Amino acid sequence: MPALIDQEALLERVAGDPDFLATMVDIFVADAPTRLDAIRAGVQQSDPHVVERAAHSLKGALATMAADTAAAEAFRLEQLGRSGSLDGAAELLAALERQVEQVTIALKNLVEQTTPPDAA
């Protein structure tokens, strides 16, 4: 099973700056539930366009956080929305929700690991 996040790639993106990493993680943690809510609403309302847009947005956020497996899951939902059919969307959403939860935990742990002891 691939890692939830590519820590090396993510740390490279923030140039090893723990403050920048913490800021990015804070933004992701605040934003991801909103994106998941939008996808959920689109699925419940049978609106493939809403699912496509919200999944695309979440995919970008996950990719930025080097969470490639979860980003691929969001991409599957995005493509499903683009197809105009939401068959199987509820199952994909449930899997994506679990992955986002796991990614969030992994990101918070990475912030803890990279924050200098005197900065905590």
The string of pLDDT tens digits covering residues 60-118 is: 999 999 999 999 999 999 999 999 999 999 999 999 999 999 999 999 999 999 988 77
Give the closest residue to 61 by CA, choosing from 16, 113, 96, 85.
96
Domain 7-109's class?
mainly alpha
Provide the percentage of residues in the chain whose pLDDT is more than 90.
92
Give the closest residue to 39 by CA, choosing from 59, 25, 24.
59
Q: What pTM was estimated for this model as a whole?
A: 0.92
Q: What is the mean pLDDT of the chain?
A: 94
Distance CA 68, CA 72 (A): 6
pLDDT band for 2, please (50, 70, 90 cuts).
low
What is the predicted pLDDT for the residue at 23? Answer: 96
